[in-house]
Every structure is written in C-alpha cells, then in structure tokens.
C-alpha cells in the first residue's frame, strides 16, 4: 500500500532537486527520504528518479506520476480542512505566483482585501516575471499572461480579451514625436522586457490574418516589467505592454496609447493550477474576485 508520507517526500524531492534538501525541509535524514522514495518506486513498480552523485532528475515515469502525486496530496489536505473549518469560513494556506507589474499595481490590493475578509487564510505571494513551474515550484496557483501551450495545465480565465498596446508618455512624445505608422516605431527608443536572460525586442502585431513583427532598439533593459512601465512614464521610451498593466496610467494621463488602429498581440490572463481538484473553494472565490475587478478594465481597452 502506498504511504502518504512517501508521496509527500517524492513531491518535495522533485521540487527541491535533491533528497538532502527535502530531508532538511522535513527534519529527516537524507537516507530516510531516499528510503521513502525507494519504497514508493517499489510499490509502483516504476523508477521515478535518475540518481547520480551530483544530480537528481525525474524519469519519464516520474514526470508522468508527479501531477497525480500533487493531486493526491491536495485531496487529502482538502478533506482534512473540511473537517476542521466551518462551512462558510475559508481556511488554509494560499500560495500564489504572478507577474511583477500586474501583481504590484493591480492585483495586490485585491489579494490584501481577500485576506482581510478571510482571516483564517494565509497568503504566500511570489512576484516575479520568471515563469513559475506549477508542477515543481511550491505554489498552488500561478497568474499568467499568454496563450497556454501546455495542455496539462488547468486554467480559469481572468481576462481572455486582454491584449498588448503601444504606449509612451506625453513628455517622450513632445521630445521625439508621435509615430504615425508601425514602421516608424522602430526609429524610436523602445523599452522591451527581459526574461531568463532573453531580450524580447521583437514586437508582434496581427495584420491581415498574418503576424507583423517589429525588431525594436533599446538602450535600457530590465528583467522586471514594472521597471519598463516606470521608465516609460519617465519619458525614456515606448513600451508594448498588456493593457491591464498600463490602463490606470493611461486614464491618469501618465501614458498615451499609440496607433490604437493597429490591434496588438493577444495577452489573455489566466489563473493556472496543475490539477482540477486543486481548485479549492478559496481559489475559486479568489478567481471570482479578480475576474470581476478586471472585467471593466478590459472593457475600456481602446478598439483596434
């Protein structure tokens, strides 16, 4: 019979990349974690890890089993929570990862309000433009922009009609002029974002059923998308960002949308979970709160 403790140690070993780290987290000896995983492999009759003196990585079978292991633990935890909480009271830990800009400037007040409304919910928030792996990282849900490429994820849409727009500050436009066509954009200072060491300086626009791509130049780069927005407000260049990220700046006059007649790239926003059963009552209520807040923002998006 599979032991729940063995599954837990398997999941944490996969997330932390070593038996030693998993043992340290659990207050055990590395040999105890190794024995637990070996026991689980014996029960499943499959090898879950490829071990070496320097690395620990999942086998193909381990990769396949990992989401089910996550789901097993979540179901057990949800059952325990249901026995120790009132029917109308949310409890437990909520671990959320989301992008820096929308996280700080749009969603943070909503998450704060959610925790104030539900005092028995604890929040662990990760703000980063690096993409979280919801199967490996210690998060329950991730909020992400973009079209989902991994069908194994389960997603609840937050703002499916959102898209990117070009924008610059009034000061920048006064000094450098306003581009009248997409071709003119490449002659301006632009502020692309950096992710995983890669500069995203190729800006795409749907055009006549195809994709139009601009290769822009930049003299200032950062791996925090919020910094690019702040630089744009300071008049240092043009940004190509999600409308949700800059809508408040446009409404306040800090930024102006450029070339609204050119529809920008789709940037749907989703709340992502690795498994269907991981959408707890707390996560579903949080999803409803965020979606209702974002609805009027997206509705104000300039028509293309």
What domains does the chain contain, in order, with CATH numbers? Answer: 4-73 (1.10.10.10), 85-161+268-299 (3.40.190.10), 164-258 (3.40.190.290)
Question: Sorting pLDDT into bands at 50, 70 and 90, what band is 1?
Answer: confident
Closest among 61, 68, 69 to 36, alpha carbons compared: 69
Name the helix (H) or strand (E) containing 73: helix 60-84
pTM exceeds 0.85 for this model: no
What is the per-residue pLDDT across 101-116, written as a single tens digit (0 to 9) for each?
999 999 999 999 999 9
Mean pLDDT of the chain: 87
Question: Sorting pLDDT into bands at 50, 70 and 90, what band is 88?
Answer: low
Integer Cα distance of 251 and 240 in angstroms:
17
**% of the chain at pLDDT higher than 90:** 53
Three-state SS at 80: helix
State the pLDDT at residue 148. 63
Q: Which of 30-39, 90-99, 123-132, 252-261 has the lowest mean pLDDT?
A: 123-132
């Amino acid at each position: 019979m599979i032991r729940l403790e063995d599954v837990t140690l398997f999941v944490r070993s996969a997330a932390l990349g070593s038996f030693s780290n998993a043992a340290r987290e659990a207050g055990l000896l590395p040999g105890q974690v190794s024995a637990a995983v070996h026991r689980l492999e014996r029960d499943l009759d499959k090898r879950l890890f490829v071990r070496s003196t320097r690395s620990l990585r999942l086998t193909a079978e381990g990769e396949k089993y990992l989401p089910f292991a996550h789901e097993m633990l979540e179901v057990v935890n949800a059952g325990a929570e249901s026995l120790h909480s009132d029917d109308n009271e949310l409890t437990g830990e909520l671990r959320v990862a989301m992008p820096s800009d929308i996280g700080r400037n749009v969603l943070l007040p909503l998450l704060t309000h959610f925790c104030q409304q539900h005092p028995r919910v604890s929040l662990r928030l990760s703000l980063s433009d690096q993409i979280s792996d919801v199967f490996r990282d210690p998060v329950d849900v991730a909020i992400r922009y973009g079209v989902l490429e991994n069908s194994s994820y389960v997603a609840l849409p937050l703002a499916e009609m959102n898209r990117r727009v070009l924008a610059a500050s009034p000061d920048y436009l006064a000094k450098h002029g306003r581009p009248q066509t997409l071709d003119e954009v490449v002659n301006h200072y632009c502020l692309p974002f950096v992710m995983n060491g890669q500069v995203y300086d190729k800006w795409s626009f749907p055009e006549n059923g195809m994709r139009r791509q601009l290769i822009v130049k930049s003299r200032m780069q950062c791996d925090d998308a919020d910094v690019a927005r702040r630089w744009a407000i300071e008049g240092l260049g043009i940004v190509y960002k999600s409308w949700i990220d800059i809508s408040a700046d446009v409404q306040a006059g800090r930024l102006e949308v450029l070339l609204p007649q050119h529809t920008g790239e789709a940037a749907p926003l989703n709340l992502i979970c690795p498994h269907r059963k991981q959408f707890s009552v707390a996560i579903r209520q949080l999803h409803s709160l965020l979606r209702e807040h974002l609805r009027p923002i997206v509705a104000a998006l300039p028509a293309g």
